Chains A and B, each alone.
Chain A
Amino acid sequence: MMQQPAEADALFDAARRRVKRRERLTPWLMMAPALAIIIVFFGLPTLYMARMSFNLHPDQRLYVPGFTLEHYLSLLTDPLFTGALWTTIKLAFVSSIFTVLIGYAFALLVWLQPAKWRFAFIALALCPLLISEISIIFGWWMFFPKNGLLSYALLSTGVIEDKISLMYTEFAAFVGLIYVTLPFCFFILLSIFDGIDKRMLEASADLGAAPFRTAWEVLLPLTRTGILVAFAQSFIWSMGTYATPSALGPDTLWTVGYMIQEQMLGKHNWPKAAAFSMVLAVGVAIVMMFIRSLMWKRTSFHA
């Protein structure tokens, strides 16, 4: 039996609304686990940490609720913390520059290799990614000291006469730090190089340009964005890490990350740890936005 048109339309609209509602709900249901993790274990803790960073920290207590800016101000006034902030930035900056230099040369040479060598080098570059930072630290920890491999190797080849130790130096810290950040940088740059037509180099060489000049005038402009992204990436990483510099570097090499751990686990000063953490998080977020805007420009340029 056919219904009246108006009634049929009303029924149809109701059915349509039900279907629409279900269709709108499906993506949210499927995203629910991911969003739950982000909200409960990242969003809420960050808000909680932000609140914590203004709490008071009397002696013998973790914290008492209150409102003070002293933890943030101490980063600017207390020479110990100002030094840590400065050390962190300096360390991240210098190690990122070297990471990009080494990573660039590595990626460039792998890109120029015939395909049969490529896999071997990529596997090599994957190793530091797959090995725990703690194992890497320990590896260098056995390399640098007086009784370490370096000293033994130099001594037995007669380069030096007495045992030496490079352990607990800034050099050792940089060696460890660059080791950890290098693979990220390498893979970012290699993917950029892979997007370049190798014939462009031949064209430049055909025109009589010397290799260095080719690199400078052809490759560098093409890889500029990649360099910046790789730099920012390794900057973020080295800004947040503390294990490598504190284990391999000198006692004076205190980074913000180390301070956070020290305040939290050593001094049980939760508000101060939270304040430092917030500063670090905001710093990282700013660099991340910078990367995103670079990537965005890159993709919009290609589209």
Chain B
Amino acid sequence: MLEDAQRETIPPVARRRPDALLLRALALAFMVFIVLYIAIPIMITLTMSFNDASMIRFPILHWSLKWYRDFLGSPQWVDALGNSLIIAIGTMTISTVAGVLAAWVFERYKFPGRSALYLAIMMPLFMPGVVLGLGVAIAFGGLNIGGFAVYGSRGLVMLAHSLWAMPLVFMLMEATFRIIDHRIVEASYDLGGRPLRTFFEIVLPSVSTGIISSALFAFVISLNEFVMALFLTDRDTQTLPVLMWLSLRSAGTPRLAVAAVILASAVFASLVLILLWYIRQLRKTSR
């Protein structure tokens, strides 16, 4: 694989030079290093989740699904997984709707204060989770609306997670909208389609791939986030990453590895679903 790359960049004379050989060896070594670097924590976790022992210790002597059974049998962990999924789906919905609409406005309309608003929408994406989490916690701590405790509720976590997810959707969709064919938008207006009707019936279907991808990112961000959630959840609404963080602080067991595997599976399962949808979509239009 590297030979090809080298041949592209180095003429025949140079290829025989010793420093070119050295370079090739270095490149190969670096690639091995990077693959190992990225793979190590993933592989360790995957391996450890099938460990039979109750201690994290190498070598692994016996294999079993014991810790998966343990995870699924523990209401605390299953509830945390449920909370995570509910919050991630909520965040995905909120931030996709808000982000897509806002991106369309930035693509289609002229209005005063445009660049300031752009900055305002993007700003939270760059803010550390600890800052956002603390802000929301302080502002909404102890807030009760008609007997419903806002603080500690899943809804508040969804909205806090949307501070990261929504600007991300906005950013991706802004880039997506820039490449759509504006003639079909004009054609829709021309035939009497009002702006909202046009948006939903003409614009959205032609950017469905972009929307689904940004929704996936929103889902993943929320599913994995634990710093904001740490500030904003209580025992009943704790998410899986929060529970993992708290139990890592006390003692690490293979149960944590199982939790990590399950969390990652949720992400990759949604990724696979989207790939399948995308392939189906491709088949439909190129029929």
Contacts and interface: CB of A to CB of B under 8 A. Distances in A.
B138 A49 contact: yes
Contact of A240 (B34, B35, B128, B195): B128
B134 A264 contact: yes
Nearest to A288: B126
A292 B140 CA distance: 31
Contacts of B187: none
A102 B23 CA distance: 16
Given A211-B10, A241-B128, A133 B226 contact: yes
B67 interface: no
A272 to B, nearest CB: 11
A247 B252 CA distance: 12
Contact of B40 (A131, A143, A239, A260): A143
Contacts, number: 267
B160 interface: yes
Contacts of B40: 139-140, 143, 149
B98 interface: yes
A45 B1 CA distance: 52
A292 B122 CA distance: 11
B130 A49 contact: no
Interface in B76-121: 94-95, 97-99, 101-102, 104-105, 108-109, 111, 117, 119-121
Nearest to B20: A211
A38 interface: yes
Nearest to A246: B249
A205 B56 CA distance: 52
Given A30-B104, A41-B159, A135-B263, A205 B139 contact: no
Nearest to B120: A38
Contacts of A149: 40, 44, 58
- With most chain A CB atoms within 10 A of its CB, the pick from B109, B139, B166 is B139
Contact of A148 (B30, B58, B127, B248): B58
Contacts of B56: 141-142, 145, 147-148
Interface stretch (B176-184, B207-215, B264-272): B264-272
B73 interface: no
B104 A34 contact: no
Contacts of B59: 152, 156
A12 interface: no
- With most chain A CB atoms within 10 A of its CB, the pick from B8, B11, B126 is B126
A109 interface: yes
B8 A34 contact: no
Interface stretch (A3-11, A221-229, A274-282): A274-282
B152 interface: no
A86 interface: no
Contacts of B135: 42, 45-46, 48-49, 277
B224 interface: yes
Given A41-B160, A130-B268, A284 B1 contact: no
Interface residues of A, number: 88
Interface string B30-58: 11001101111110110010000001111
A270 interface: yes
Interface in A244-303: 247, 257, 260-261, 264-265, 270, 273-274, 277, 280-281, 284-285, 288, 292
Given A136-B41, A142-B252, A206-B11, A33 B130 contact: no
Nearest to A108: B27
Nearest to B35: A124
B254 to A, nearest CB: 9
A130 B267 contact: yes
A212 to B, nearest CB: 7
Given A24-B111, A31-B102, A132 B260 contact: yes
Contacts of A145: 56
Nearest to B46: A139
A44 interface: yes
Given A45-B132, A280-B130, 6 more contacts: A36-B98, A41-B160, A132-B223, A137-B248, A143-B40, A264-B137
Leading 7 A-B pairs by shortest Cβ distance? A240-B128, A139-B41, A45-B135, A132-B224, A135-B260, A34-B102, A33-B98
11 contacts: A31-B101, A37-B162, A38-B123, A42-B132, A106-B34, A132-B260, A138-B256, A179-B37, A201-B8, A277-B130, A284-B131
